[in-house]
Amino acid sequence: MSSADHLWAGWRTQYIDAVSKDPTPLRPNESGSLFERILALDDEAGMVVFRGVDVSVVMNAYPYTNGHVLVVPNVAVADLGEVAPDTAAELWSTVTAAVATVRAAYGAHGVNVGLNLGVAAGAGVPDHLHVHVVPRWDADANFMTAVANTRVLPEPMVESWAKLRQAWPGIGGVAR
């Protein structure tokens, strides 16, 4: 593929539009951001991997691959400049723990870490920043999403959740 070629992930538009147009897709009668409503559920129902003082880790409902988690402040904040210093410190230490956890749980050769701030940057939930932690493997060039609008996820979400909780330091895993 030359540098002028593009692969498009058109399936993302449907998800972004759905979240943007319906601010309460999880529980219509509850208030708060999508992640605040998820965090109001018990760990299994909300697929919460870890709960900290100000930051938690949840499974991505639309993962790029098994083990894809989101590190989120417990209270909605739209931009990094709005994050309190103590929460910011916990956010990045939790991202570090999440990276170690996905490596341990999945034997990942690498990890993508990133966040999208604002709709124009691709944020599907623009009112509540979240950091993506995505395990990657050598030669895992999976073009199914781009060419067939399909994702191949060999592991059910509940198994990914259990595997990550077992590997998380202080829950089932050991400090790294």
Amino acid identity for residue 56 in this structure? S
130 catalytic residue (yes or no): yes
* Sheet with 131-136, edge to edge strand ranges: 48-51, 55-59, 69-73, 131-136, 110-114
Backbone angles phi, psi at 36, to 5 degrees: -65, -40
Strands 48-51 and 55-59 come out as antiparallel
Which helix (H) or strand (E) segment holds residue 90: the answer is helix 85-106
* Residue of 68, 128, 130, 132 marked catalytic: 130
In 3D space, the residue among 148, 114, 133 whose CA is nearest the CA of residue 10 turns out to be: 148
Active site residues: 130
